[in-house]
């Protein structure tokens, strides 16, 4: 095992971060798309709420917070993986990665952290400005992103959000690691592209799914990506439950990191390097 | 000289044969798009399961809209792939110059350059959902309704194809393909999966009078389904509305020819 040098990993995060912030035009297009989709989702859900016969399990304010947080943080969803790491597997460059004086798992974790957060951060700012400031100004205050239910909810949301980022990175790395065996992660990515948005709550807030599905939805790991932090934010998950929910999130983080870590150690022993 | 349509057909066949060389990759990709395009259907199912109905609209009505629009959108994606990748693979590289010197229409050469067969997965998904809707709804298919449905579907096809042409045309100026127009094409598809009557008025107006999405999808479908339109359109409007799709196509094609005329190569 190689020594854990925190500053080296932080340097990796910082360097990748600066690189990824170069793509500003693509980010702008992404923002417009997010806002458009956010409005459609709100109109659809609003229409269902308007004709609801029984009281839905969430208030519409909680739905609005859920939708907007989801739209601005959509880049965090771990359905794709760093294309440059993919390149390493097809070109055989992965051999060089093994030579670095850093632990491979945490080195990739640092890269992935930047890959997940830099574009999201860039896209988040205009999205939030729109959802918080522009919507009330154009006469749609009921669609605006509300503030957290309370300061305590806001703080709990921040903690839960950190767990979300870790969880997202841990899943992304598992996709990367699968390339040790699959070489090409496109198939797995496609699969994740179907699974992650549904089970995280990005397509429809999870509490709105049928009641018989709720126990399953509660325990699966993808819920920690959207459902938990967003509902803590809006107060739909009360403070008394928040600690428990965050613990579950962190438990999944630990399990998935442990899985990734042992898979990497296992894979590097029997690695076949592509290319010549 | 062979006709444009024959040429289009022949080039498409070549593109399909080329893709079928990678058979297992092809089946995996089809399976993948089938799975990912299911995502939206799952969302709609969950919401109807929770709320029962959407005013006058039942889950089968929405499935009818959803299935139809998915079939059309996937067909456009399959056959308009050449325009989809036009900016990045023909304009940025300067390759379009070579297309222009060939003795055939550039529109056809670009259109038939590539075929996105993996989108068959989405097509299949649309067919499945539409089949469910047809079994549940038991629509009385009078000749008039069949005619309106065919008219609407072809107009929808023209509409979404036209957007791809506009996207490609823009890259004469921007060099790269603009992702921003995805909000109109993909966003339009998602919008039209639900009845237009549930949206805000300004939004519906935009998608009726500026971009005639409602004219090609919503109004004629209301006519076929024979339900009282919450927006208050009559059968006459519903039957004539799809004309807008063909007008839209003509305008977009004119824009393309204008772009070709103004084209200055990027090559050196």
* Separation of alpha carbons B107 and B100, rounded Å: 10
Of B46, B182, B190, the CB nearest to A210: B46
User: Which chain B residue shows the shortest CA-CA distance from A26?
Assistant: B179
* Separation of alpha carbons A235 and B62, rounded Å: 33
Closest Cα of chain A to B104: distance in Å?
Answer: 35
Closest Cα of chain A to B10: distance in Å?
Answer: 31
Contact B190 A37 (CB under 8 A): yes
User: Which chain A residue shows the shortest CA-CA distance from B179?
Assistant: A29
Rounded to the nearest 5 degrees, what angle is found at the Cα of B215, between the Cα atoms of B114 and B155?
35
From the number of C-beta atoms within 10 Å of its C-beta (0-12, 13-18, 19+), residue A60 rates as middle
The domain containing residue B99 runs over which residues? 4-262
- Backbone phi and psi for residue B57, each to the nearest 5 degrees, phi listed first: -95, 125
The tens digit of pLDDT for each residue in A92-139 reads 777 777 777 788 888 889 889 988 888 888 888 889 999 999 999 888
Contact B40 A203 (CB under 8 A): yes
Q: Average of pLDDT values for B204-227?
A: 92
- pLDDT band with cut points at 50, 70 and 90 for residue B17: confident
List the structure tokens of A214.
């709720």
Indicate if the pLDDT at residue B51 is higher than 70.
Answer: yes
With a CB-CB cutoff of 8 Å, which residues 18-37 of chain B face chain A? 28-29, 32-33, 35-36
Closest Cα of chain B to A97: distance in Å?
Answer: 29
What's the predicted TM-score (pTM) here? 0.87
The reported pLDDT for the residue numbered A23 is 64
Helices marked H in chain A:
6-20, 24-50, 60-72, 83-91, 94-99, 104-129, 135-137, 151-182, 186-200, 214-219, 227-234, 239-269
Contact list, B194 vs chain A (CB under 8 Å): 44, 47
* Each residue's pLDDT expressed in tens, for chain A with a length of 276 residues: 566 678 888 888 888 777 766 666 667 777 888 899 999 999 999 999 998 888 899 999 999 999 999 999 988 998 877 777 777 777 777 777 777 778 888 888 988 998 888 888 888 888 999 999 999 988 888 899 999 999 999 999 999 999 999 999 999 999 888 887 776 667 778 888 889 999 999 999 999 999 999 999 999 999 999 999 999 999 999 999 999 999 999 999 999 999 999 998 888 777 766 665
Residue B58 is assigned to a structural domain of this protein: yes
Please say whether the beta carbons of B167 and B187 come within 8 A.
Answer: no
Q: Mean pLDDT across chain B, nearest whole number?
A: 88
Residue B74 is assigned to a structural domain of this protein: yes
The tens digit of pLDDT for each residue in A47-75 reads 999 988 888 999 999 999 999 999 999 88
With a CB-CB cutoff of 8 Å, which residues 147-206 of chain B face chain A? 178-180, 182-183, 187, 190-191, 194, 198-200, 203
- pLDDT band with cut points at 50, 70 and 90 for residue B100: confident
Q: Is the ipTM of this complex over 0.90?
A: no
* Separation of alpha carbons B116 and B19, rounded Å: 9
Closest Cα of chain A to B40: distance in Å?
Answer: 7
How many independent structural domains does chain B possess?
Answer: 1
Residue B268 is assigned to a structural domain of this protein: no
Contact A36 B183 (CB under 8 A): yes
Residue B179 is assigned to a structural domain of this protein: yes
Helices marked H in B57-210:
59-79, 81-84, 86, 96-100, 106-111, 120-137, 143-174, 182-193, 201-205
């Amino acid at each position: 095992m190689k020594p854990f040098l925190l500053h080296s990993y932080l340097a990796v995060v910082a360097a990748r971060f600066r690189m990824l912030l170069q793509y500003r035009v693509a980010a702008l297009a992404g923002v417009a798309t997010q806002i458009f989709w956010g409005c459609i989702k709100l109109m659809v859900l609003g229409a269902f709420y308007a004709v609801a016969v029984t009281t839905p399990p969430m208030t519409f304010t909680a739905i609005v917070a859920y939708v907007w947080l989801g739209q601005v943080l959509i880049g965090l969803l771990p359905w794709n993986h760093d294309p440059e790491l993919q390149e390493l597997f097809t070109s055989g460059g992965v051999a060089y990665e093994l030579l670095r004086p850093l632990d491979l798992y945490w080195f990739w974790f640092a890269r992935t952290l930047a890959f997940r957060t830099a574009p999201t951060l860039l896209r988040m700012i205009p999205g939030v400005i729109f959802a918080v400031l522009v919507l009330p100004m154009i006469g749609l205050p009921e669609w605006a992103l509300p503030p957290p239910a309370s300061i305590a909810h806001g703080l709990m949301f921040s903690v839960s959000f950190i767990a979300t980022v870790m969880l997202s990175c841990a899943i992304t790395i598992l996709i990367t690691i699968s390339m040790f065996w699959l070489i090409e992660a496109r198939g797995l990515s496609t699969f994740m592209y179907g699974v992650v948005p549904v089970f995280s709550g990005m397509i429809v807030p999870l509490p709105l799914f049928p009641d018989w599905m709720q126990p399953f939805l509660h325990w699966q790991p993808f819920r920690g990506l959207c459902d938990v932090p967003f509902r803590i934010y809006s107060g739909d998950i009360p403070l008394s439950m928040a600690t428990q929910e965050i613990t579950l999130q962190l438990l999944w983080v630990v399990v998935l990191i442990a899985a990734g870590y042992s898979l990497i150690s296992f894979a590097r022993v029997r690695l076949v390097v592509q290319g010549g | 000289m062979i006709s444009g349509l024959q040429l289009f057909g022949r080039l498409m066949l070549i593109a399909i044969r080329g893709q079928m060389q990678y058979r297992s990759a092809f089946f995996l990709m089809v399976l993948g798009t089938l799975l990912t395009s299911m995502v939206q259907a799952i969302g709609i199912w969950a919401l109807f399961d929770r709320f029962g109905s959407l005013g006058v609209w039942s889950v089968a009505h929405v499935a009818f809209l959803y299935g139809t629009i998915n079939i059309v959108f996937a067909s456009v994606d399959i056959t308009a792939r050449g325009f989809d990748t036009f900016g990045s693979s023909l304009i940025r590289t300067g390759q379009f110059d070579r297309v222009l010197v060939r003795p055939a229409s550039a529109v056809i050469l670009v259109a038939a350059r590539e075929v996105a067969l993996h989108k068959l997965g989405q097509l299949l998904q649309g067919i499945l959902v539409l089949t469910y809707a047809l079994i549940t709804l038991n629509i009385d298919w009078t000749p008039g309704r069949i005619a309106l449905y065919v008219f609407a579907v072809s107009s929808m096809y023209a509409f979404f194809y036209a957007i791809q042409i506009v996207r490609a045309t823009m890259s004469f100026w921007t060099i790269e393909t603009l992702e921003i127009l995805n909000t109109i094409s993909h966003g339009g598809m998602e919008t039209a999966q639900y009845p237009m009557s549930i949206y805000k008025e300004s939004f519906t107006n935009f998608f009726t009078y500026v971009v005639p999405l409602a004219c090609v999808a919503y109004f004629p479908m209301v006519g076929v389904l024979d339900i009282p339109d919450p927006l208050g359109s009559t059968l006459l409007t519903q039957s004539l509305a799809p004309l807008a799709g063909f007008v839209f196509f003509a305008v977009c094609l004119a824009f393309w020819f204008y772009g070709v005329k103004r084209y200055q190569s990027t090559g050196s």
